[in-house]
Amino acid sequence: MPNTETILMTPISIFSQKYAPRYTPNDTEFLGHLGVIHKQTWKYNKRNAKQFRVDLRAALGNEGKLQNFITTRQNTQIGQKLNFYRHRASSTVSKSFWRQLPKTVLYKPGLYRSCSVVGSSGLLKGSLCGNHIDKADFIFRFNLAPINGFKDDVGRKTNFTTLNPSFVRKRFNWLKTPENCSRFGDLMKQFRGSHLWLPAFALRSAHTHLMKVAHMVRKTKVATPIFGHPDHYTAVGNLWERTLNGTRWTTTGLHVLTSVFDLCHRIDVFGFWPFPKSLAGEDVPYHYHDSVLGVLKFHSFTKEFRGIMKLHELGIINVHLGPCT
């Protein structure tokens, strides 16, 4: 007779059991394990990567498909209510907003052979990973982390970058003055021709401000603003909350990384590091472009990183843990 427990397992349950990290919760012991991994030559495991994609698609369901990563005219209708994924509120899609959306899907399965997903950790400082990063067909970055002045370490190409609402508020005062807009425009020039991913349906309080950002970017034509679909973000977040045993809000980094497995055949990850010290015992700034030490507590970075390292050890993604030599 078939096992009843197996029959009742959902795709999310199967994914969570297979890909939940089993590492020690002790960071010191885990860093010791990472030191061993770092000395080993990473090898791509085609079989594991293929099976992971199958399991991921099944667990995310229709809402988590690559075609729903970005809000488009194909997956959104005028008059539809889109729920904010961090507020119990919704926004009705207006005709003017709908017209701003891409007519068709921007990202299709198998579009790129290689992708670099570049975090902003201070681990990249002095890494000389720029050339390795730029070798990829498509490059993802986060929160407008600057490349000017850091190209040897982080590369010079950008195809996709994100923007955190708090960044616009703290650095550019929600673009309230011409001077704010001018400084923001100068920063955006580093990312000319890229897609700017905006979490317009995360916080209701930030929605109007991000619409203003999108309008400015579209007007200057320096980049193309795109909006993450809230249902897709929720699907990815729920999956990792289950898999990582109650992590807080999924970081944008993990969300994007999870979302592009069908887009990219091979994925290299740089600048993801949740610890204050490197494997060599050196201080690691929170970002490569500043000197702030420590890790923010809003997200469960160490839990997420353990999940990412599980995929590294399975040969699914290549996570770079130190300098590129």
- pLDDT at position 295, please? 56
Phi, psi of 267 (to 5 degrees): -125, 125
Look at residues 75, 95, 107 and name the one whose alpha carbon lies nearest to residue 224.
107
Domain ranges of the chain: 4-319
The CA-atom distances, in angstroms, between 183 and each of 78, 124, 143, 176, 257 are: 34, 25, 15, 12, 29
Q: Which residue has the tokens 């994100």?
A: 162
pTM listed for this prediction = 0.94
Residue of 297 and 161 predicted with greater confidence: 161
Give the pLDDT band of residue 1 (cuts 50, 70, 90): very low
Query: Alpha-carbon distance 315 to 104, whole Å?
Result: 33
Give the pLDDT band of residue 4 (cuts 50, 70, 90): very low
Q: Which two tokens stand for residue 273?
A: 């590091």
Length of the chain as a residue count = 325
- The side-by-side arrangement of strands in the sheet containing 160-162 is 224-227, 195-198, 160-162, 138-140, 112-118, 264-270, 318-319
pLDDT higher than threshold 80 for residue 125: yes
The CA-atom distances, in angstroms, between 303 and each of 69, 240, 275 are: 23, 10, 11
Q: Which two tokens stand for residue 157?
A: 């190409």
pLDDT higher than threshold 60 for residue 40: yes
What are 20-34's pLDDT values in tens digits? Answer: 999 999 999 999 999
Secondary structure element (H or E) that encloses residue 301, with its range: helix 301-313
Three-state secondary structure call for residue 311: helix
Please state which of the four CATH numbers 3.10.330.20, 3.30.750.24, 3.10.290.10, 3.90.1480.20 is assigned to the domain occupying 4-319.
Answer: 3.90.1480.20
- Longest CA pairwise span in the chain (Å): 72
- pLDDT at position 86, please? 75
Contact between 271 and 122 (Cβ < 8 Å) = no
Query: Alpha-carbon distance 126 to 124, whole Å?
Result: 6
Across residues 247-276, what is the average pLDDT?
93
pLDDT higher than threshold 80 for residue 2: no
Across residues 52-59, what is the average pLDDT?
98
Query: Alpha-carbon distance 71 to 197, whole Å?
Result: 10
Look at residues 168, 230, 224 and name the one whose alpha carbon lies nearest to residue 195.
224
What are 181-227's pLDDT values in tens digits? Answer: 999 999 999 999 999 999 999 888 899 999 999 999 999 999 999 99
